[in-house]
Chain A
């Protein structure tokens, strides 16, 4: 089993988001980048599966050189090697096309992604890769096991759960609860130094969208505290000021 785990490099969840260039560029200054949390789950589960059944785990990122510290973390967690496709990840189509091409070259038979990246929340890459490779996709999976060449996956559906079984090759995207993300240990961090991180030149692919502008959600207004005894004041505000009824 040759697993390829797609890693998206995203701003830490506590980042204060700002924009530049007339609100068309995300301001990276001072931002801490991390492995997309859903990708951390898919990587952890991939490692668990190969540790139990044999096989290899390669991580792949479409990103520029500044993503390498984050890729090293994926290697420290236990991935055997990494591929960085040297390009700015423009849109889902572009990223998927780059990854699909490398997946063919490398002869992988199992691709794992997160359900979405927590920055742009596109959630498209897994579907596009599957389509480009003509493989099946099981999306938003919260339980995953492998028996030989057969993959068993469970996913939440409206009001219940669905368990599926599929033969390799397949693309699967991870949802929370899949596993507890692995924390890299000291030995893994040391070993990651010498693991291969192969940089490949991006091939010419189209990006079909461009960002016109970003907008932050309106600032939350402060909380107004009203004394427990003053229910009338509260009703007055809700009725006359906020005009909720």
Chain B
């Protein structure tokens, strides 16, 4: 899309997005003024810059790369990372609310921010050297640089431990070989956090930079989901990387899994955002659309749908809020995060499907956001641990039995 097209969409879409979140249990009373300010800021930004263009971006399978800088300016990259390293210096509820507002617009936009904040900035901040932090974090925080996270491989998705991407040592360098697949942001990324096995077969994190010889990032085509986000591969063909690019403070799968915890936490808020957007659209449509001489919202079947949607949204809001407090106190367990991610994505998918039916034929068009959310959520239920995998994590937590292998 050209700048002129984007500007004309922004002009014609001005003021049309009137979204406000449902809050049946006055959960806002549990938020601080600062939390609400965070939410308002991201929402205002979304309404001004993203809502007018998102549908067209998704229709055209276009990643609006101009928004990377904007997301940085608003502070959507790592709001929970300390300010001295380019983050926002806020808490986990603020981070969750920011992800919720972005995904209320589109899961693809939220994905870009989740990856940058939780999967790129977070590991550099948590496991990186002081030098790595100073070099990369401020630029990632401001959106001057875009990052991606390479864990999944063509033959190893749910089982990352089986990864074959590996490196050998050569003096002050390492030589990296292998390939990663399904990597969000990859084709436009300036840096990649790549998880690979060292000569002893132990997983380590490596910062791979655009321009290193033998490193390419082909785009994945033909997606029906997250069409406003860009996905690709990371291919390493004897890439020589200075040893100083290895993340020094973590070894083993714990590294990537810790990052995923932070991102999954954000997704549990994000998916709820998508759910609330579908609900709000359905609620409005039900009062505007007349059949048989009355608004369809007057029929019991439609009321049942809306009542059940609002019930699930309210439960999920409480789960997010509680989990956010556990995160703030450093007490959230991976299994608790799995439950929230799994539940909230599932209810979002169900709500999207019900909301789509409530919109009748209109529901399949881009006039309404429903079908886009519905298709996006198919990725969200798969990445960052599939629905099944989170069930197994919970199963193991409950019974102590490992049902993975």
Interface residues of A (CB under 8 A from B): 69, 72-73, 76, 183-191, 193
State A223–B289 Cα separation when bound (angstroms). 16
B377 to chain A minimum Cβ distance, whole angstroms, is 26
For the complex with contacts A186-B88, A187-B83, 17 further pairs of A-B residues with Cβ separation under 8 Å are: A69-B33, A69-B37, A76-B41, A183-B45, A184-B37, A185-B41, A185-B75, A186-B38, A186-B79, A186-B89, A186-B90, A186-B94, A186-B98, A187-B88, A187-B89, A190-B89, A191-B83
B328 CB-CB contact with A under 8 Å = no
Across-interface contacts of A186 in B (CB, < 8 A): 38, 41, 74-76, 79, 87-90, 94, 98
A29 to chain B minimum Cβ distance, whole angstroms, is 13
B73 CB-CB contact with A under 8 Å = yes
Task: Decide: A185 and B83 in contact? CB cutoff 8 A.
Answer: no
* Overall SS of chain A's interface: helix
B301 to chain A minimum Cβ distance, whole angstroms, is 26
Task: Decide: B44 and A76 in contact? CB cutoff 8 A.
Answer: no
Closest chain A residue to B45 by CB distance? A183
CB 8 Å contact bits of B77-100 with A (1 = contact, 0 = none): 001000100011110001000100
Task: Decide: B44 and A189 in contact? CB cutoff 8 A.
Answer: no
Query: Which of B33, B44, B79 is in CB contact (< 8 Å) with A183?
Result: B44
A125 to chain B minimum Cβ distance, whole angstroms, is 26
Task: Decide: A184 and B41 in contact? CB cutoff 8 A.
Answer: yes
B34 CB-CB contact with A under 8 Å = yes
Interface residues of B (CB under 8 A from A): 33-34, 36-38, 41, 44-45, 48, 73-76, 79, 83, 87-90, 94, 98
Across-interface contacts of B45 in A (CB, < 8 A): 183
Across-interface contacts of A187 in B (CB, < 8 A): 75, 83, 88-89
The 6 closest A-B CB pairs, nearest first, are: A186-B75, A186-B88, A69-B33, A185-B75, A190-B89, A186-B79
Across-interface contacts of A73 in B (CB, < 8 A): 37
Query: Which of B33, B44, B74, B83 is in CB contact (< 8 Å) with A72?
Result: B33
Closest chain A residue to B73 by CB distance? A185
Across-interface contacts of B34 in A (CB, < 8 A): 72, 189, 193
Across-interface contacts of A193 in B (CB, < 8 A): 34
Closest chain B residue to A185 by CB distance? B75
Across-interface contacts of B38 in A (CB, < 8 A): 186, 189
Across-interface contacts of B94 in A (CB, < 8 A): 186, 189
CB-CB under 8 A for A189 and B74, given A72-B33, A73-B37, A184-B37? no
Query: Can you pick out 27 interface pairs between chain A and chain B where the beta carbons lie within 8 Å of each other?
Result: A69-B36, A69-B37, A76-B37, A183-B41, A183-B44, A183-B45, A183-B74, A184-B37, A184-B41, A185-B75, A185-B88, A186-B41, A186-B79, A186-B87, A186-B88, A186-B89, A186-B90, A186-B94, A187-B88, A187-B89, A189-B37, A189-B38, A189-B75, A189-B88, A189-B90, A189-B94, A190-B89
Closest chain B residue to A70 by CB distance? B33
State A186–B45 Cα separation when bound (angstroms). 12
State A72–B37 Cα separation when bound (angstroms). 9
CB-CB under 8 A for A190 and B90, given A69-B33, A183-B74, A185-B75? yes
A183 to chain B minimum Cβ distance, whole angstroms, is 5
B52 to chain A minimum Cβ distance, whole angstroms, is 14
Task: Decide: A185 and B33 in contact? CB cutoff 8 A.
Answer: no
Task: Decide: A189 and B41 in contact? CB cutoff 8 A.
Answer: yes
Across-interface contacts of A189 in B (CB, < 8 A): 34, 37-38, 41, 75, 88, 90, 94
B385 to chain A minimum Cβ distance, whole angstroms, is 27
Across-interface contacts of B76 in A (CB, < 8 A): 186
State A73–B37 Cα separation when bound (angstroms). 7
State A211–B94 Cα separation when bound (angstroms). 41
Across-interface contacts of B74 in A (CB, < 8 A): 183, 185-186
Across-interface contacts of A69 in B (CB, < 8 A): 33, 36-37
State A190–B37 Cα separation when bound (angstroms). 10
A138 to chain B minimum Cβ distance, whole angstroms, is 28
State A185–B37 Cα separation when bound (angstroms). 9
Closest chain A residue to B32 by CB distance? A69
Task: Decide: B41 and A190 in contact? CB cutoff 8 A.
Answer: no
Across-interface contacts of A191 in B (CB, < 8 A): 83
State A193–B33 Cα separation when bound (angstroms). 11
Closest chain B residue to A68 by CB distance? B33
B195 to chain A minimum Cβ distance, whole angstroms, is 28
Task: Decide: B33 and A190 in contact? CB cutoff 8 A.
Answer: no
A148 to chain B minimum Cβ distance, whole angstroms, is 29
A20 to chain B minimum Cβ distance, whole angstroms, is 22
State A121–B75 Cα separation when bound (angstroms). 34
B362 to chain A minimum Cβ distance, whole angstroms, is 20
Across-interface contacts of B98 in A (CB, < 8 A): 186
